[in-house]
Amino acid sequence: MTNVDLAQRAGISAPPCLRRVRALEQAGYIKGYHAQLDPATLGFTVTVFAHVGLNSQAEADLSGFEGLVKEWPEVRECHMLAGETDFLLKIVAKDWDAYQKFVTEKLTAAPKVANVKSALGIRSAKSLPGVPIAVDGDKPAQPPLVVPAE
Closest CA to 113 of 121, 104, 122: 104
Instruction: Check whether residue 116 and residue 50 sit in a common domain.
Output: yes
CATH of the domain at 70: 3.30.70.920
Residue pair 150/15 in contact by the 8 Å Cβ criterion: yes
Strand pairing category for 87-93 and 113-120:
unpaired
Percent of the chain with pLDDT over 70: 89
Mean pLDDT of 33-44: 92
Range of the domain at 8: 1-33
Residue 60 DSSP SS3 = helix
pLDDT for 131 = 86
Instruction: Check whether residue 59 and residue 16 sit in a common domain.
Output: no
Averaged pLDDT score across all residues of the chain: 90
Instruction: Check whether residue 29 and residue 50 sit in a common domain.
Output: no
Q: Which residues contact 119 (CB under 8 A, 6 or more apart)?
A: 48, 49, 50, 51
* pLDDT tens by residue, 98-149: 999 999 999 999 999 999 999 999 999 998 888 888 766 665 545 445 555 5
pLDDT for 139 = 58
Q: Is residue 90 included in any domain, yes or no?
A: yes
Instruction: Check whether residue 10 and residue 57 sit in a common domain.
Output: no
Instruction: Check whether residue 27 and residue 50 sit in a common domain.
Output: no
CA 111/CA 66 separation, integer angstroms: 11
pLDDT for 17 = 95
Q: Is residue 21 included in any domain, yes or no?
A: yes
Instruction: Check whether residue 25 and residue 50 sit in a common domain.
Output: no
pTM to 2 decimal places: 0.79
Q: Is residue 138 included in any domain, yes or no?
A: no
Mean pLDDT of 9-38: 93
Q: Give the chain's domain count.
A: 2
pLDDT for 128 = 87
pLDDT for 141 = 47
Q: Is residue 55 included in any domain, yes or no?
A: yes
Instruction: Check whether residue 54 and residue 116 sit in a common domain.
Output: yes
Instruction: Check whether residue 28 and residue 51 sit in a common domain.
Output: no
Instruction: Check whether residue 57 and residue 25 sit in a common domain.
Output: no
Closest CA to 45 of 104, 124, 131: 124
Instruction: Check whether residue 16 and residue 65 sit in a common domain.
Output: no
